[in-house]
Amino acid sequence: MGTQTSIQTSEKPLGRDELAQLVARDIAPGSFVNLGIGQPTLVSNYLTEEQNITLHTENGMLGMGPAAEGDEIDGDLINAGKIPVTELPGASYFHHADSFAIMRGGHLDICVLGAFQVSATGDLANWHTGAPDAIPAVGGAMDLATGAKDVFVMMTLLTREGVSKLVEQCTYPLTGVGCVTRVYTDKAVFLTGPEGVTVRETFGCTFEEIQELVPLPLKAA
């Protein structure tokens, strides 16, 4: 553990926008990508033209552009969060079964999702708290988790109560089994896979401090 602090790449924890910027930078040029509702949508603000990324929205479009403003707003052109968006040159429209075939068929390179919990083996819980009076709603979360080649999660490492959301086993209902490949948090980036969890880099703390917060054995990259 002689290199214990060398994976710290930032003095402070990352804010939501800084984290989105980091995820955007990690997306390989030419990728087909689906950004989930909420924090993952911020990633689109930091994708560059040179990256030539094509965004998919599960309600039936490839080549989605930025959010629509003013006269651009068109009720027939919305994203999966039902926000009015724009189309880029080369965009295409297709029906729902084709849109989910694009996911399930493994044609998307990356999807970025939020999460309640991620397990040591990459299980994802992000659709339901399991509270008895909550109305369950799943949307496309299970399809995205299962279908994309890489599933990136963006979340805060800790709950408001200070409990790690990276866990040995999820206690919330699962969205997908062993599907998450990377977890981007305010305090560290984790790589998940069959060999366990590796910390790629830390922000505002050391590897040892991360290990104290997360209740499962971690490896430093």
Q: Which residues are marked as active site?
A: 58
Query: Pick from 13, 63, 65, 84: which binds another protein (CB under 8 A)?
Result: 84
> What DSSP element (H or E) covers 144?
helix 141-147
| Rounded Cα gap, residues 180 and 114, in angstroms | 11
Report how many residues bind another protein under the rule CB under 8 A: 45
* Of residues 1 and 97, the one with the C-beta less far from another protein: 97
Work out whether 119 is an interface residue with another protein (CB under 8 A): no
Work out whether 131 is an interface residue with another protein (CB under 8 A): no
Residue 77 C-beta: closest distance to another protein, Å: 4
Burial (0-12, 13-18, 19+ Cβ within 10 Å), 136: exposed
Work out whether 142 is an interface residue with another protein (CB under 8 A): yes
Phi, psi of 188 (to 5 degrees): -170, 160
The per-residue b/e assignment along 98-122, b for 16 or more CB within 10 angstroms, e otherwise, is: ebbebbeeeebbbbbbbbbbbbbbb
Binding mask 159-178 for another protein (x = CB under 8 A): --------------xxxxx-
The residues of the shown chain that bind another protein, judged by CB under 8 A, are 57-61, 73-79, 82, 84, 87, 93-97, 99-101, 103-104, 123, 128, 133-143, 146-147, 173-177
